Structure 1
Amino acid sequence: MSDFQKSFAKSRLAKLPPEAPIIFDDDNVEAEASSSYPTDEQSHHDDDSSSASSVSSTGTIIPSLTKHLFAKAGLGSSTSPSQWTDYFTQELYLSEDVHDTRVTHHVYLTPPAEKSAPLFVMHHGAGSSGLSFAVCAEEIRKILPKAGILSLDARNHGSTTLNKVNGGAGDQAELDLGLETLSRDLVFVIKDTQSKMGWETLPDIVLVGHSLGGAVITDVAKKGELGSKLLAYAVLDVVEGSAMDALQNMERYLSTRPSRFPSIASGIEWHTRSRTIRNRTSARISVPSLLHKEAEPTDPSKPWVWQTNLGATKPFWENWFVGLSRKFLDARGGKLLLLAGTDRLDKELMIGQMQGKYQLQVLPDAGHFIHEDQPAKTAQILVDFYKRNDRSTLVLPPKVADIQASSAMKKGLNGGLPKGGAGQSQVSSQGGLGSLKE
């Protein structure tokens, strides 16, 4: 390098900032958010374990301790909650009595615009809610405007409630988040939605499940309870091997994340700054449904706590994922596995992929909440997946029986024709049989 080039390079480098700044979706952050957050060292531990929330997220960026992750910023609307009505047209409450428990399932719904349009049925992961699919649902309808979206709150999540049938108003039913129970709930929600909406038949259904939801929709697909109406199913960022490995770190993750927040805005801020959810728009709609305000908080300065006690779900963790890979490969219908990293594939899925048994898509820029981090890309993949499995666009060859019946009919017409050109001409023009010999 010449002296002139060295001099030029030094002059250019001197003008650059000493360290690249951190860039978030919005620089305006509610000022109170920082007062409730842990120290820089604690924040580092939270970020280091955030990927363990269900299945680890490869590529998660861990902020440096010197970046003041939770530093105060100006007052703004970037952490203000969004409304579900911006993403769905209606909500339904579907009640059923199961043994001595009344379950009131809460779902968000945008019905299909016509009978031939599909219905995407979304099931969220553990600790999340139906609104985790809100932004993705909006993106799906931008591409496929007539499609329907149904996104449920699983029991003990979101606004779905459970109470003893013969108990008092405050009596809570025993926690049951077994895979069999959640699968049965999903089928009930789909069929009761059909009843409430007055649909003569179910639309063609595409099941979409994230993490725990992926295990639930795969179980439903394997059991075949939706029959021919199940067109295809898509599993988002969960496979059996890595899920079982991640469960070993779940308790550590739960012990390091904040247990309380002073406000909804601070909860949104924690999710985005820790990169648990990397899309602020999605966090603003999904996070409020993850928290509830205690009537008599043990810490009045932080009255907002988690809606779902993930620690209490530990007895069900292994039950969710054991046998997932085999069921995913064996169930009938189109299959899609959408991951944030190919390192998640276990041996069974790798063999299945090489055999072409399912479609594999990878979004390496996303974290574990792949549909929230990259809603537009996820939506495009899901719509393309539906179109590849849409039976209404298939042109099937005629059945052998139909060909034989048609041939017999033609022979009958030939045998019953009067001699002469007039009859031949009539059949030739109407039946398209060409010239007929006597």
Structure 2
Amino acid sequence: MSRSLAKTGLSHLLSRLLFGPAPVLHHSSRSFQTLAFEEIKSSPEKPHEFTAFVLHGLLGSGRNWRSFSRSLASRLSPAQWRMILVDLRNHGRSAEIEGLLPPHNLENAAKDLADLVKSEDLDWPDVVIGHSMGGKVALQFAQSCANGHYGDDVTLPKQLWVLDSVPGKVIQDNTDGEVEKVLQTLQSLPSTLPSRKWLVDHMLKLGFSKSLSEWIGSNLKKSGEQETWAFNLDGAVQMFNSYREMDYWPLLDHTPKGMEIDVVRAEKSDRWNQDVIQQLEHLSAKGVNENEGKVLVHVLPNAGHWVHVDNPKGLLDIIAPKVASIV
């Protein structure tokens, strides 16, 4: 694993990944050979009209987005929406599914979504919302749909939301990134640990913050008398490497006809350099081309990388009206 990862603020992501309220779900389900997922509907007693997929970031799970998805579904009423909160491969309950085979990269993470649609007889999503690593999985999903990789009966998403995720390769410098240090530390540990307290104390001794150490400790589950990871660590590392390497600027340069890609940049996020910002603004300012889709850029004020925790109302104010416009 490269030791030249730029410091992109992912330590903030890690330290706050699971914090926040977890409201009651309307429904939950899972598939044994495709992704685990949870479902939130606008009105459980009514048939849905539209479908949105919601994708979490590194080491997260669908439950990170329960509160936001419930609020979004409420804001979109009276239209009936079904929000599919996915656990990406190696994460959440999907980490327990043996059928999700390597290589663990963004291409296969996106194909998992197509397999989920087919195996669970779901509708192809009208909207895909992806945060951080999930944003790049969303871009890969759209690209593969447009290229016919999932068959001829695919319906392209009308909107793709990329939340605080740079579309191109992660810029690297000569320093170690915090997330890489965390992943390397976790890889150095045995697969089973004495207790959650032992892990938190160990992380603190290595110089990690208390909030980050406690969050890492929350990602354990019982394994007999000891504890083990609630995610597939090696697989997550492979996905993170793929996330850093993939470049979706060509997709934004030539967005498929009928699709809108909305990029949300958090005002206080430190992963955006001026060149990337200018490149996005140039794409957003392009004239209308009837043969292509469009790219729009939004700035979320008063928020760092963890957008739906830092400013959930502001994020809803950006997303809800746009999603409602496709009805």
Give the TM-score taking structure 1 as reference length.
0.53
Give the residue type in structure 2 aligned to 1:317.
F
1:43-73: CA deviation from partner (whole Å, max 9, x where unpaired)? xxxxxx79234xx88xxx9xxxxxxxxxxxx
Residue 248 of structure 2 is matched in structure 1 by 324
**Match status 1:128 vs 2:86:** no
Q: Is residue 153 from structure 1 mapped to residue 76 from structure 2 by the alignment? A: no
Q: Which has the higher helix share?
A: 1
Alpha-carbon displacement from aligned partner over 1:374-429 (angstroms, at most 9, x marks no partner): 223222322112133x1x4xxxxxxxxxxxxxxxxxxxxxxxxxxxxxxxxxxxxx
* Deviation digits for residues 49-104 of structure 1 (CA, Å, limit 9, x no counterpart): 79234xx88xxx9xxxxxxxxxxxxxxxxx99966xx3421111223xxxxxxx35
Cα distance in structure 1, aligned partners of 2:125 and 2:83: 12
CA gap 1:104/1:221 in 2 versus in 1, 3 angstroms: closer
Q: Which segment is superposed worse, 182-191 or 356-365?
A: 356-365
- 1:93 maps to 2:30: yes
Amino acid at match of 1:138: R
1:337 aligns with 2:260: no
Query: C-alpha deviations, 1:136-163, integer Å up to 9, x for none?
Result: 1121123123322111111211112233
- Map 1:283-362 → 2, pairs under 5 A: 290-297=219-226, 303=227, 306-310=229-233, 313-320=236-243, 321-332=245-256, 333-341=259-267, 343-344=272-273, 346=276, 348-355=279-286, 357-362=294-299
Contact 1:137–1:379 under 8 Å retained in 2: no
1:162 matches 2:86:
no
Which has the larger Rg?
1
- Give 1:51's aligned residue: 9
Q: Which has the higher contact order (CA 8 A, sep 6+)?
A: 2
Task: Classify the secondary structure of the residue corresponding to 2:113.
Answer: helix
Measured in 1, the distance between the counterparts of 2:130 and 2:184 equals 26
State how many pairs are aligned. 280
Amino acid paired to 1:149: M
Gaps of 5+ in 1: 1-48, 62-78, 96-102, 165-172, 196-201, 278-282, 298-302, 393-438
Partner of 2:4: none
Contact 2:169/2:247, CA 8 A, preserved across alignment: no
Answer whether contact 2:280 2:297 (CA < 8 A) is retained.
no
Q: TM-score, normalised by structure 2?
A: 0.69
Percent identical residues: 19
**Partner-residue secondary structure (3-state), 2:93:** coil
